[in-house]
Structure 1
Amino acid sequence: MKWIFIACFLVSNVLYSQKIYWREDVKLNWSNFKSKVNNQRGANVVAYTNCGWTYSYVKSSNPKAPIKIEIQTLFNEDKSWKDVKRINDYVLLHEQKHFDAAEVYARKLRKEIAEKIKTSSDFDKYFKVIYNRNLKEYQDFQRTYDRETRNGMLEEKQSEYNRIIAEELENYKSYKSS
């Protein structure tokens, strides 16, 4: 039996950068933001969170064999930036919610994969489409989140998104990473 292991890094081309994997009991802190470069091109940017997912799978050459797919949410320390003169706890909460939103979409992806991909053949037919659709929805959500909260500066909108993200984490809690 031929086993294939592939890891795809959604947001990082650097294999050896420092990463934090999402866990409920671990929250970001400012020391996690290690990039020296503001790659967001804006004087009004206080911080930038670089996060997303990794996935790996083990599959057989037998198209009817079961497949194992693992999705993990990660934060890239070396690509996440902060303006040390303007950071505060409120901004950190906004950045944490970016990371939490990545976990929400990882759970949605895990759910759809669990429902639709059982075999190596299913993986070949459906994975790319499911993954790419979920990725687009995730990216759209992140852009909308920043736009509607004005990068966290609109407190009422930020509170609304804090609630939405918390509810979604709860709604998909059975799809937490094991």
Structure 2
Amino acid sequence: MQKDFWALTILFLLPLCGSIAQEIQFELTKVDGQILKNSGFELVEVLDVQRKFTSIGSIYTVNNQQDKVKIKNGVPQGLKSFYNKSLQQTTTDRNIQIRVLDFTISEKRQSTSVASGELKIKFGYYLKGSFDPVHLVDYEAGITYKRSIHRTDLINQILNKGVTNSLVFFNDWIKNHATYNRKLAKSVKLEIVEKSRMSDRDTVFYDSNRPLNWNDFLDRPGRASRNNAMIFTSLAMEGSPFMDNGVLILPLEIKIYMLPGSSWVRADGKNDYSLNHEQRHFDVSRVAGNRLINRLNALELTPENYEADVNDAFFDSYREMNKLQETYDARTRHGLDRAAQERWNTILDQALKGEMEEIEKELIKGK
């Protein structure tokens, strides 16, 4: 929780001389003409999220009077101008928002001629894009000092030093994190990974060179089902993105599998015709997986949208797989219609080769 320093800010009257607190305005400028090489960002917005007043605090001046301190053109515009003028103009890849969480100055009188003070700074840096800004990093620091009450010019140096430190910090942070921080990725590269996985008693992975056999059906037959056999097939997608020289690499493996422990066959249903019907259910899942790969390869991914778009493509394909399974069973009457079964054998053989015309028609018609 941020402390509200402004709750104690008042107009300070000096009854001895009858003067009223004044305002002193300072401009944020480059320190010693320092120009930094831009690490690839532009400050496009500054939000002063805590400040209730235009002043950032108060300092002592002549006659031991406390005067309010303001930034020329206000804190947001002052900071934005300072950052943009202090960076060498280069190609910028990232739009940055600063949220000013604290930027205050306060002083205590040490004697009639000396004041001690502290400048507090806390900035939150965010990456701006098409959606909500993404938090990158916070900068928090303070500068303590002592000065002659007559040297108000030192306040301007302290303010500029504090803001310069924040700029140097963030510019270095961008430079050091750009190659491996996912939030700073410039682009996304999708890679479909093909892996050969070994099947076992728990999971049988789809393999065109390894058709199903009845030993893959380990569950007990369902008492309430009239079918001779039942197979549980599905598809999954997994991958861990990583950064490579500023590019987000997204390797994705599409896994098609059946679960022996959830698949069963009755003793009197073990024949080649029934096994083919169950194999075709497995083929339907493979076709759905291939169509998912096509969807993924057609996506135009950006660092902002890649997660949502990839997940949408997966769930669309998952729903499509279930619809195809239901349509297949409805058309073949769970394999009882031999002519329909033969037709679907052909449809699926074509689809496995990438010819999806008949599959598209079946998806439109539904069950």
- Is contact 2:228-2:265 (8 Å) kept? yes
Residue identity opposite 2:215 in structure 1: S
Q: In structure 2, what is the equivalent of residue 123 of structure 1?
A: 306
Distance in 1 between residues matched to 2:300 and 2:276, nearest whole Å:
35
- Work out which of the residue numbers 251, 256, 259 in structure 2 matches 1:73: 256
Paired amino acid for 2:352: L
State the identity %: 22
Task: Sort the Cα spacing of 1:93 and 1:120 in 2 relative to 1 into closer, same or farther, 3 A.
Answer: farther
Q: 2:203 corresponds to which letter in structure 1?
A: K
Tell whether 2:249 aligns with 1:59.
no
Alignment counterpart, residue 138 of structure 1, candidates 318, 321, 326: 321
**Counterpart among 136, 140, 151 of residue 334 in structure 2:** 151
State the partner residue of 1:94: 277
State the Cα deviation string for residues 13-38 of structure 1 (Å, max 9, x = none).
xxx96111111111101111001242
CA contact (8 A) 1:67 1:118 kept: no
Relative to structure 1, is the Cα distance of residues 121 and 26 closer, same or farther in structure 2, using a 3 angstrom cutoff?
farther
Per the alignment, in what secondary structure is the counterpart of residue 34 of structure 1?
A: coil
Per residue, is there more strand in 1 or in 2?
A: 2
State whether structure 2 residue 222 is matched by structure 1 residue 38: yes
CA drift of 1:61 comes to 7.2
Distance 1:119 1:58, change over 3 A: farther
Indicate the residue corresponding to 2:135 in structure 1. none
Structure 1, unaligned runs of 5 or more? 4-15, 173-178
Given the alignment, which residue of 297, 302, 320 partners 1:114? 297
The answer to whether the 8 Å contact 1:64/1:121 transfers is: no
Normalised to the residue count of structure 2, the TM-score between the two structures is 0.40
Larger radius of gyration: 2
- Residues in 2 aligned to 1:164 and 1:103: alpha-carbon distance in whole angstroms: 13
Aligned residues: 159
Q: CA deviation at 1:148?
A: 1.1
CA distance in 2, matches of 1:66, 1:94: 39
Q: Give the SS at the match of 2:209.
A: coil
The residue identity in structure 1 corresponding to 2:320 is E
Pair 1:133–1:46, CA change in 2 (3 A): same
Following superposition, the deviation at residue 140 of structure 1 comes to 0.7
Partners in 1 of 2:181 and 2:255 — Cα distance?
A: 24
The reply on whether 1:23 has 2:207 as its aligned counterpart is: yes
Deviation at 1:86, TM superposition (A): 2.5
Conserved 8 A contact 2:301-2:309:
no
Q: Which residue of 1 aligns with 2:60?
A: none
Q: Cα offset for 1:123? A: 2.6
Distance (whole Å) between structure 1 residues aligned to residue 302 and residue 271 of structure 2: 47
* Counterparts of 2:229 and 2:287, CA distance in 1: 21
Distance 2:277 2:238 in 1: 29
| CA–CA distance in structure 1, aligned partners of residues 251 and 303 of structure 2 | 9
| Structure-1 separation of matches of 2:238 and 2:302 | 15
Q: Secondary structure at the match of 1:66?
A: strand
TM-score by length of 1: 0.80
The aligned residue for residue 230 of structure 2 is 48
State the distance in 1 between where 2:323 and 2:305 align: 27
Tell me how far apart the structure 1 counterparts of residues 298 and 268 of structure 2 sit (CA, whole Å). 47
What SS does the aligned partner of 2:220 have? coil
Higher helix share: 1
Structure 2 match to 1:11:
none
Q: CA deviation at 1:122?
A: 4.0
Tell which has more relative contact order, 1 or 2 (C-alpha 8 A, sep 6+).
1
Moved more, 64-73 or 74-83: 64-73
Match for 2:248: what amino acid? A
* DSSP-derived class of the 1:65 partner: strand
SS of alignment partner, residue 234 of structure 2: strand
CA RMSD of aligned residues (A): 2.6
SS in 1 for 2:273: helix
Q: Which runs of 5+ in 2 are unaligned?
A: 1-179, 183-199, 356-367
